[in-house]
Copies of this chain bind each other. A is one copy, B any other.
Amino acid sequence: MSTNKLTDIVNASVELFMKKGYHATSMQDIADAVGLQKGSLYHYISSKEDLLVMIIQEALDQYIGRLAEIAASDLPPREKFAQAVRHHLMGIATNLGHLTIFLREAYALTPEQQAIVKRETERYNRLVERIYQEGVEQGVFRPLDPPLVIRTVLGACNWFYRWYRPGGRMSLEEMADFFVDVLFNGIVVR
């Protein structure tokens, strides 16, 4: 019962943080959204910052677990990289609330928490980088500066959270295929 209530609180916070921003949302707003007295809210969480950490942690866990599976699979690097890009986009699209908070509000964390997020983000980036490097070694990908490749590719994907809204003219799969195509082949005719 208590776990479900906590889930409700987290989900309500995601919505409020998304709409009003983290700083502009008060504990009272969250209590109202889940039908609790503000005092009772503290049975479940100890602060608003706690909630932000939980939301960001959930976003990160989901992301890294699946990417590690892709990286460890037997697929050829080109297919692995395509799957990593798809995974990244799908994760944003299906978890838009959590990811918006993560990508927009992480700067509000304490320095210690920011250090954890940075470490996890770097772990994620290194997994994608390793896939790219495999492709370079096998002669599939051009030998470019690896950290910059990862930042360009994931940057293009991350921006997705700013403009993607469900129910557009293209399906999520079509958009993911488009991203992979542009990042693999570029826009210039040859």
Contacts and interface: CB of A to CB of B under 8 A. Distances in A.
Nearest to A24: B23
Interface in A131-190: 132, 135, 139-142, 144-145, 148-149, 151-160, 162-163, 170, 175, 178-179, 181-190
Contacts of A24: 23, 108
B189 A190 contact: no
Contact of A156 (B23, B135, B152): B152
A154 B182 CA distance: 13
A170 B185 CA distance: 24
Could you say which of A22, A152, A153, A158 has the most chain B C-beta atoms within 10 Å of its C-beta? A152
B189 A140 contact: yes
Contact of A21 (B23, B132, B151, B186): B23
Nearest to A103: B162
Contacts of A163: 151
Contacts of A108: 21, 24
